[in-house]
Amino acid sequence: MTFFTTLSKLYKRKKVNGYYEAGSILTPKEKQSLIVGFSVITVPIIICLILFILN
């Protein structure tokens, strides 16, 4: 569930005078969940695109 909570946190955060609020800074665990989540989503898409192009 950390992946979706991190996405909602990124969506809701706002810059004030060029800086983000302290509550909206991502923790290392949240950064790791984003990397893993996006890799799980993008790797199969890339593989499907490559297979589609080769056919």
Rounded to the nearest integer, the mean pLDDT of the chain is 89
Q: How would residue 33 be classed by pLDDT, with cut points 50, 70 and 90?
A: very high
Unique residue bearing structure tokens 């990124």: 10
DSSP output for 1-55? -HHHHHHHHHHH--EETTEE-GGGSPPHHHHHHHHHHHHHHHHHHHHHHHHHHH-
Residue range 15-43: mean pLDDT, rounded: 88
For residue 20, the cross-strand partners are 15
Sign, CA dihedral 13-38-34-17, equals negative
Comparing 34 with 22, the larger pLDDT belongs to 34
